[in-house]
Amino acid sequence: MSMKTILAPVDGAKSSGAVLDAAFVLADEFQAHINVLHVLADPKAAIPLLGEGMSGAMIEDMIDMAEKEGQEQRAKARTFYKESISDRKMVESSQPIDADKVTVQWVEDEGREDEVIAQYGRLNDLILVPKPVKENEIYSTLALNAALFETGRPMLLLPEKSITAFPKSIAICWNGSVEGTRAVAAALPFLKRAESIHIITADTSETKEPVGNDLVTYLAWHGLQATSTFFTPAGKSAGEALLEESQKQGADMMIMGGYSHSRMRQLILGGVTRDVIEMASLPVLMGH
* Final residue in a domain of this structure, among 117, 133, 158: 158
170: closest CA among 258, 277, 284? 284
Q: Are residue 140 and residue 198 in the same domain, yes or no? A: no
On whether residue 164 sits in a domain, the answer given is no
Residue 230 lies in a domain: yes
- Cβ atoms of 244 and 236 closer than 8 Å: yes
**What pLDDT does residue 50 have?**
47
- Predicted local distance difference test score (pLDDT) of residue 204: 78
Q: Does a structural domain hold residue 163?
A: no
Residue 269 has pLDDT above 50, yes or no: no
Cβ proximity of 227 and 170 under 8 Å: no
Do residues 124 and 182 share a domain? no
Same domain? 198 vs 108:
no
- Is this prediction's pTM over 0.85? yes
Per-chain mean pLDDT for the chain:
88
Are 116 and 236 part of one and the same domain?
no
Q: Give the model's pLDDT for residue 245.
A: 94
Question: Do 52 and 118 lie in a common domain?
Answer: yes
Q: How far is CA 222 from the centre of its chain?
A: 25
Domain check: are 154 and 191 in the same one?
A: no
Q: Given the DSSP bridges, would you call strands 227-231 and 196-202 parallel, antiparallel or unpaired?
A: parallel
Three-state DSSP class for 175? coil
Give the residue from 158, 178, 203 where a domain finishes.
158
Q: pLDDT tens across 16-61, in order?
A: 999 999 999 999 999 999 999 999 987 666 565 444 556 666 667 6
Q: CATH no. for residue 75?
A: 3.40.50.620
User: How many domains is the chain partitioned into structurally?
Assistant: 2
Judge whether 69 lies within some domain.
yes
265 shares a domain with 177: yes
Mean pLDDT of 184-207: 92
Higher per-residue pLDDT: 256 or 89: 256
Strands (DSSP E) found in the chain: 5-9, 33-40, 91-92, 103-110, 126-130, 155-158, 169-173, 196-202, 227-231, 253-257, 284-287
Say yes or no: 139 and 228 in one domain.
Answer: no
Q: Is residue 262 part of a domain?
A: yes
pLDDT per position as a tens digit, 253-268: 999 998 765 554 444 3
Whether residues 124 and 224 fall in one domain: no
Residue 219 belongs to some domain of the structure: yes
CB atoms within 10 A of CB 241: 22
Based on the domain organization, do 207 and 127 belong to the same domain? Answer: no
Amino acid at position 138, single letter: I
Contacts of 219 (CB under 8 A, 6+ apart): 191, 197, 225, 226
28 within 8 A of 18, measured Cβ to Cβ? no
> Does residue 152 share a domain with residue 20?
yes
In whole angstroms, give the CA distance from residue 81 to residue 69.
19
Q: Which of 13, 27, 17, 10 is nearest to 189 (CA)?
A: 27
**Domain end residue (candidates: 98, 133, 158):** 158
Please tell me whether residues 127 and 186 are part of one structural domain: no
What is the domain range of residue 94?
5-158
Residue 209 lies in a domain: yes
